[in-house]
């Protein structure tokens, strides 16, 4: 069974540009989560989808971040415009509806804003 995949693995953009990160969850996992780790800090929750609906977006830092999950399959996280402090590793995770707390993480996308 394929795990959670994320694309790209690494992105380097300039301040003010736009970047879109993609996450493909494990098949059958209705729950999809985004987390990020900025330099030197702990991994922090951004938001949670149940199928295509946003269940909890309390961790989204500001309106420069937009997450979508059209059709309830893969999800995208767009940062527009990117700022220097957005640099870090963005993780996606998914979980099965029967075991929502057991979350399986992707390899992450390392975002560098210069």
Partner 1 sequence: SQQGEEDPQALSIQEGENATMNCSYKTSINNLQWYRQNSGRGLVHLILIRSNEREKHSGRLRVTLDTSKKSSSLLITASRAADTASYFCATNDQGAQKLVFGQGTRLTINP
Whichever of 21 and 93 has its CB closer to partner 1, that residue is: 93
For 2, the token pair is 């394929």
* Shortest distance in whole angstroms from residue 105 CB to partner 1: 4
For 47, the token pair is 């938001």
Whichever of 87 and 95 has its CB closer to partner 1, that residue is: 95
How far is C-alpha 43 from the geometric centre of its chain's CA atoms? Answer: 12
Angle at Cα 65 formed by Cα 59 and Cα 69, nearest 5°?
85
* Shortest distance in whole angstroms from residue 89 CB to partner 1: 9
* Shortest distance in whole angstroms from residue 56 CB to partner 1: 6
């Amino acid at each position: 069974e394929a795990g959670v995949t994320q694309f790209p693995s690494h992105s380097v953009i300039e301040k003010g540009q736009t970047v879109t990160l993609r996450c493909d969850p494990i098949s059958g996992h209705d729950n999809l989560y985004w987390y990020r780790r900025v330099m030197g800090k702990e991994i922090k929750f951004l938001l949670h989808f149940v199928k295509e609906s946003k269940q909890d977006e309390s961790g989204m830092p500001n309106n420069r971040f937009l997450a979508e999950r059209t059709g309830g399959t893969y999800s995208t996280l767009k940062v527009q415009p990117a700022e220097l402090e957005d640099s870090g590793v963005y993780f996606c995770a998914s979980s099965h509806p029967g075991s929502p707390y057991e979350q399986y993480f992707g390899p992450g996308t390392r975002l560098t804003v210069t």
